[in-house]
Amino acid sequence: MIRYIVRRILFLIPVLAGVAFCVFTLLYLTPGDPAKMVLGEMATERAIQEFREREGLDKPFLMQFANYVYKAVTRGDIGRSYVTKRPVMDEILAAFPATLKLAAFAIVIAIIIGLPCGILSAIKQYSIFDTAAMIFAMIGLSMPVFWLGLLLILLFSVHLRWLPPSGFDTFQAMILPSLALSAQSISMITRMTRSSMLEVIRADYIRTARSKGQKESVVIWRHALHNALIPVVTLCGLQFGQLLSGAILTESIFAIPGVGRLMVDSIKARDYPVVQGGVLFVAVAFSLVNLLVDLLYAYIDPRIKAQYK
């Protein structure tokens, strides 16, 4: 098991290197001069040249990338913000708790709603509940997050005035952004749970359990659900990783000071070090979530655990 964990962690190195190179290349090719964006259009040519020399922007592309990787590996330094002059890691760590809280609330809501809906849809296949659940799942999967967020603000904040339209400091303020962000995850978890449950409840061992006189609740919750959870756990882990990186629009709409909003503001200001650091941070978080999901398999399915021994 330890060897498996170490091997998966080592696999993260080429993934992060590839992400860093792609982001660095895209930002390097993006039109616009960071020096002019930071110093302003009225800045003199000498000031712009000094800024480019100080930040290493006058060097060739490969040399800039090599210098960035060297500082990140040897010092843990992923740059300093052009705008605030603070280390990028400090900027990201200050904004990450809000993003983590938003993603955690969203995935909890998605599991609480999506898992029971998927189970009931599979048990009551082709019923009115199953049809309604699949219709709502399709709508939630197709609806853009930013549009749903605006609709929720118009309904619950403008017309009904039940919930605040922005902020993330109170429990009431967390409801609307969490619902908006969790809509697609609810739909995907519902559909995956239904599909997995339908496949499991038709298996031979389920018919054997029923023929032995087991209660239907025991057959569903102890035998069927336990084996149907494996693909659902995978989906929940992937969705949580996507929620960490997909909260950009939600944070912008609801004015949440998270990593997503920080990256949007940095892109507008051509603050390249913050953008690069933010993308790398999200990539690391996504990879660690996937690693934790793989480790959970061993506790859900004994067959997987036996392979590591």
What are the residue ranges spanned by the domains of the chain?
32-77, 92-305
Residue 123: the pLDDT is 86
pLDDT digit string (tens) for 96-122? 888 888 888 999 999 999 988 988 888
Identify the DSSP state of 143: S
Q: Please return the burial class of 16, using the count of CB atoms within 10 Å of its CB with bins 0-12, 13-18 and 19+.
A: middle
Closest CA to 99 of 207, 252, 270: 252
pLDDT digit string (tens) for 28-51? 777 766 777 777 767 777 887 887
CATH superfamily ID and name for 92-305: MetI-like (1.10.3720.10)
pLDDT digit string (tens) for 42-100? 777 788 788 777 777 778 888 888 888 888 778 777 778 877 888 888 888 888 888 88
Residue 112: the pLDDT is 92
Would you place residue 209 in the very low, low, confident or very high pLDDT band (cuts 50, 70, 90)? confident
Helix (H, G, I), strand (E, B) or coil at 230: helix
Task: Report how far residue 233's alpha carbon sits from residue 223's, in angstroms, rounded to the nearest whole number.
Answer: 16
Give me the DSSP letters along 180-206.
HHHHHHHHHHHHHHHHHHHHHHTSHHH
